[in-house]
């Protein structure tokens, strides 16, 4: 319960990301996050490849050429919108786990990098494809990969367009575990999501936010942030429930994650805010 499964299903195009994806993912993730009902998400795809990157058919009408101050200002907002497509995954209160097979290129790699953990088949491979097509990657690869992979590895990918194979990605920690088949990779991601669903939802949300903050701030600033956040999220109910369940060897009943409030709306969960089993 509480696991969302998002599947890229355009195998005929290598699951290339078209306008529907770019315009629709952020609102969909926002709605799932706002509901409070999702505890974890698995992201996978059909076909031989995870994702071949941006769908080049989006340039069928011509390559954008912002040739005036107004056009460049508008292009800036387009870039921000594309970035938000992946950044929303980081800000979601629930962890996102990717199951990857085959090619994971360009925007596909940037999508994977925005996930919390990645499980991949042994034949999968990763590449910053933008540099091979005359473009500076701009929706997350150059910002997120240096926080996950060694800097020389990222530079080799970013400058030379070199391919990172699954075994190397696992060695460097970009891939959490390797699988023999796509179904096995999905099972690993689902097992991780199931484990998350057995934890206190508020503690998971706080932990994800703390990790994101620590990545982008100093240790001292992150400790200060954590102290203030812990004082807000501390749950005697959830701690007691976990300790009782451990002693009795039963499933704990944690407080649910409430829906994000909207002006004039209710802040309670569909279950009325009562503790829910995992």
Tell me the domain boundaries of the chain: 3-197, 201-277
Task: Quote the CA–CA distance of 70 and 270 in Å, as a whole number.
Answer: 46
Mean pLDDT of the chain: 93
Which one is the CATH code of 201-277: 1.10.12.10, 3.80.30.20, 1.10.630.10, 3.90.226.10?
A: 1.10.12.10
Q: Per-residue pLDDT tens for 52-78?
A: 999 988 766 777 788 899 999 999 999
Q: Per-residue pLDDT tens for 134-183?
A: 999 999 999 999 999 999 999 999 999 999 999 999 999 999 999 999 99
What pLDDT was estimated at residue 1?
63
How far is it between the farthest Cα atoms of the chain? 69
What pLDDT was estimated at residue 165?
98
Q: Which CATH class name applies to 3-197?
A: alpha beta
pTM above 0.85, yes or no: yes
C-beta of residue 145 within 8 angstroms of C-beta of residue 154: yes
C-beta of residue 153 within 8 angstroms of C-beta of residue 185: no
Q: Which of 24, 100, 228, 149 is nearest to 157 (CA)?
A: 149
Per CATH, 3-197 and 201-277 having the same topology is answered: no
Ranges under pLDDT 50 in the chain? 269-278
């Amino acid at each position: 319960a509480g696991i969302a499964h998002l599947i890229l299903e355009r195998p005929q195009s290598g699951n290339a990301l078209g306008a529907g994806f770019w315009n629709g993912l952020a609102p969909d993730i926002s709605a799932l996050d706002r509901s409070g009902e999702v505890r974890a998400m698995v992201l996978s795809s059909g076909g031989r490849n995870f994702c071949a990157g941006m769908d080049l058919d989006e340039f069928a009408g011509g390559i954008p050429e912002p040739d005036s101050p107004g056009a460049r200002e508008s292009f800036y907002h387009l870039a921000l919108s594309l970035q938000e497509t992946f950044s929303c995954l980081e800000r979601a209160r629930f962890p996102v786990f990717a199951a990857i097979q085959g090619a994971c290129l360009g925007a596909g790699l940037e999508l994977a990098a925005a996930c919390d953990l990645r499980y991949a088949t042994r034949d999968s491979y990763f590449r910053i494809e933008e540099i091979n097509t005359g473009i500076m990657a701009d929706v997350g690869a150059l910002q997120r990969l240096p926080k996950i992979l060694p800097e020389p590895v990222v530079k080799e990918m970013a400058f030379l367009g070199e391919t990172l194979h699954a075994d190397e990605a696992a060695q460097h920690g970009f891939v959490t575990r390797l699988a023999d088949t796509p179904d096995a990779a999905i099972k690993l991601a689902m097992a991780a999501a199931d484990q998350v669903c057995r934890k206190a939802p508020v503690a998971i949300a706080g932990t994800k936010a703390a990790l994101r903050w620590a990545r982008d701030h100093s240790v001292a600033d992150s400790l200060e942030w954590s102290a203030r956040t812990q004082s807000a999220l501390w749950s005697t109910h959830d701690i007691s429930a976990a300790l009782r369940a451990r002693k009795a060897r039963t499933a704990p009943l944690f407080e649910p994650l409430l829906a994000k409030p909207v002006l004039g709306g209710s802040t309670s969960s569909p279950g009325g805010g009562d503790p829910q089993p995992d």
